[in-house]
Amino acid sequence: MKNLIFITLLTLLIGFTAQAQISEGLNYFSGQISYSSINSDSQSNEDNEEVYGAGLSYGHFLGEKTALGFSASFTQSDELFVFGALAVRRYKPIDNKLYSFVEGYTGAARLTDIGNQYFIGVRPGISYFLNEKWAIEATLGGISYSSFRYDDIEEKTTQFELGLFNDLAFSLSIYY
């Protein structure tokens, strides 16, 4: 019994102290959950909205620090949004298990029975490697521009966002 406990603890210790190695040809797959808080204050009304979402992403490292990927996700508030996006990430090691990254992305979304949105943006993030294969990641706000076109009227709205904690997303990723 003592040997089993010792082997289990040693395995966990080795697993959680392994150094993350990002290299060319590496792939990652992640699932994420997100939360956004939208506060709109205009002359006609004040609107506060909370938005929850989930999605999946896949990426491939083109070099030691650069990955190209795509994602599909949805968000739910009053309506359902379905998103698809392409992204490029540039990683910078902070220590053996912690990396910062900047992600540039562009994509499109469909708001059920209302219209289409097109967007582009840049956001910062961090990856903390639990071991050689698993990482917890977070993205924090950023800068984005979007354009929304309605299906049944000739109206278009555009939006520019800048913020650090207005759009927070967490993901669990496996690197292989």
CATH number of the domain within which 91 lies = 2.40.160.20
Range of the domain at 136: 2-175
pLDDT of residue 1: 46
**pLDDT tens-digit readout, 17-45:** 344 568 899 999 999 888 877 766 655 55
Q: Residue 142: beta bridge partners?
A: 163
* pLDDT over 50 at 118, yes or no: yes
Rounded average pLDDT over 130-156: 91
Q: 95-104, 126-135, 150-159 — which is least confidently predicted?
A: 150-159
How many folded domains does the chain comprise?
A: 1
Q: Which of 22, 39, 72 is nearest to 163 (CA)?
A: 39
Structure tokens at 101: 């990254």
Q: Distance between CA atoms of 81 and 31, rounded to whole angstroms?
A: 17
**Ramachandran area for residue 113 (φ above 0: left; ψ -120 to 50: alpha; else beta):** left
Segments in 58-166 forming alpha helices (H): none
Q: Distance between CA atoms of 139 and 56, rounded to whole angstroms?
A: 14
In terms of pLDDT, which residue wins out, 68 or 21? 68
Across the chain, mean pLDDT equals 83
